[in-house]
Structure 1
Amino acid sequence: MTPLPDPRALTLLDAILPHVAFDGWSDGAFIAAVDECGLSLAQARDVCPRGAIDLAVLLHTQGDAAMVSALSSSDFSDMRFRDKVAHAVRLRLDAVNDKEAVRRGSVLFALPHMAPEGSKLIWGTADAIWTALGDTSDDINWYTKRATLSAVYGSVVLYWLGDDNDDGQATTDFIDRRIENVMQFESFKAAVNKNPLLKPFSAALAQLTSCVKAPSAPASDLPGSWKTPR
């Protein structure tokens, strides 16, 4: 279970958002938020050691939590699986209350030294979607599903940031096209695996990838594990 954020961090997040639109996720915006909350800088740093960066991360993870909550009450009875994934991505965008804060966040996490953090956040969103949709894979597919959806979600966010239409239909259509691309790739993989001419290659690859296992314990901060075949 994901631990609940410190209430002081949530207060700081609410306070910093109006400043982010003008100053980005910067030290200046963080200090302004601290002043408004009546905290000392030392108290604020105790909650957010990296300042505004930690609040940008919190904004993203709160969006993931809102999406998971919305998914839990969604009716999937008449949806194909691709539609479920597209619906989840749409709900994740709908969870954003401050588009400019996300825009500024995309700039922050595009910086070379912040790119690993940004990739981790997108991976977390993809993982939250697959987990909420009941994914039970425990092998290489655990990784490929999340890697593929991470690429989809990253491109969707960039498109959505540039979509100024009020109805969001252009973004919805873009999501559907990207999900369709993923389905085409999955069909291609299935065709390759069934091709008798490629059977030796497929068997060797399957033997290799059988060593890869999904994360089995939250105690490690590594994304997965490698087990030696017996």
Structure 2
Amino acid sequence: MTDDHLLTEKRALLEAMLPHVPFDGWTAKALNLAARDAGLDTGVVLRAFPGGAADVLDFWVSETDAAMLRVLEGRDLAAMKVRERVKLAVMTRLELAAPHREAVRRALTLEALPQHAPRALKQLYRTVDAIWYAAGDTATDFNFYTKRMLLAGVYGATLLHWLDDKSENFAGTSAFVDRRLADVMRIEKAKSKLAKLADRLPNPFRNLRRA
């Protein structure tokens, strides 16, 4: 079996499973119903997702991240400030998931369980890394990690807000992202000021190194 054929089967199972998730969660039952609806046998399911429903969820996260990047490739990001790019990426990511918002809620419920925490953290990292990639981040120093850590907090809080947002076109979530990103910008400015101040302070160990 070719990789392309396996990918086609994965996508078919995912598409068939998503309508069942709001009722049955990310479970073996939902996956079995998806296989039935897609006309695929158990062998195909095991080959496509050996880890079961949790693997399907992981695949969905990756597929949605990739879709976000494709959408953003068609936008004039170079004309935007970094903060605007990040916001656009976050909102695009949520809009892509919007048709299956209840499946997102079910995913958060599943991944709140201790045994799923490592996988959930990896998924969150991949998403925020994709957002920063789309925003044109080129950091290779410690800022690479601090940016992703801060954005993970923003994205996680935004996701919870978005799940209950009933405003038109998610206007409430858009405003929420603005506030959270403003908080991050204040933190970054404070870090920059502290770094400059530290550079001007005398180093008490300099003379010790010369001794």
Residue 209 of structure 2: aligned partner? none
Residue 28 of structure 2: aligned partner? 27
Tell whether 2:150 aligns with 1:148. Answer: yes
Go from structure 1 to structure 2 and tell me whether the alpha carbon gap of 1:144 and 1:33 turns closer, same or farther (over 3 Å shift). Answer: same
Tell whether 2:157 aligns with 1:167. Answer: no
Spell out, residue by residue over 1:146-196, the C-alpha distance to the aligned partner (whole angstroms, 9 max, x if none): 111111111110110011223211100000001001000001101111225
* Structure-1 separation of matches of 2:200 and 2:112: 40
* Aligned-pair Cα RMSD in Å: 2.1
Residue 109 of structure 2: aligned partner? 107
Residue 90 of structure 1: aligned partner? 91
Which AA in structure 2 matches 1:133? A
* Structure-2 separation of matches of 1:135 and 1:76: 12
Three-state SS of the structure 1 residue aligned to 2:114 is coil
In structure 2, list runs of 5 or more residues that go unmatched.
207-211
What is the Cα deviation at residue 200 of structure 1? 5.8
* Structure-2 separation of matches of 1:10 and 1:130: 26
Which AA in structure 1 matches 2:56? L
Tell whether 2:141 aligns with 1:132. Answer: no
Report if the CA contact (8 A) 1:192-1:198 is conserved.
no
The structure in which a higher percent of residues are helix is 2
What is the Cα deviation at residue 80 of structure 1? 2.1
* Structure-2 separation of matches of 1:63 and 1:31: 22
Three-state SS of the structure 2 residue aligned to 1:95 is helix
Residue 197 of structure 2: aligned partner? 195
Tell whether 2:8 aligns with 1:7. Answer: yes
Which AA in structure 1 matches 2:148? R
Identity level (%): 39
Q: How does 1:187-226 map to 2 (within 5 A)?
A: 187-196=189-198, 199=201
* Structure-2 separation of matches of 1:72 and 1:82: 17
* Structure-2 separation of matches of 1:126 and 1:198: 34
What is the Cα deviation at residue 42 of structure 1? 2.4
Paired residues in the alignment total 201
What TM-score comes out, normalization by structure 1 length?
0.81
* Structure-2 separation of matches of 1:160 and 1:40: 36
In structure 1, list runs of 5 or more residues that go unmatched.
205-230
* Structure-2 separation of matches of 1:156 and 1:198: 38
Spell out, residue by residue over 1:37-95, the C-alpha distance to the aligned partner (whole angstroms, 9 max, x if none): 22221221111011111111111111111111111111235422211111111111111
Q: Highest CA radius of gyration, 1 or 2?
A: 2
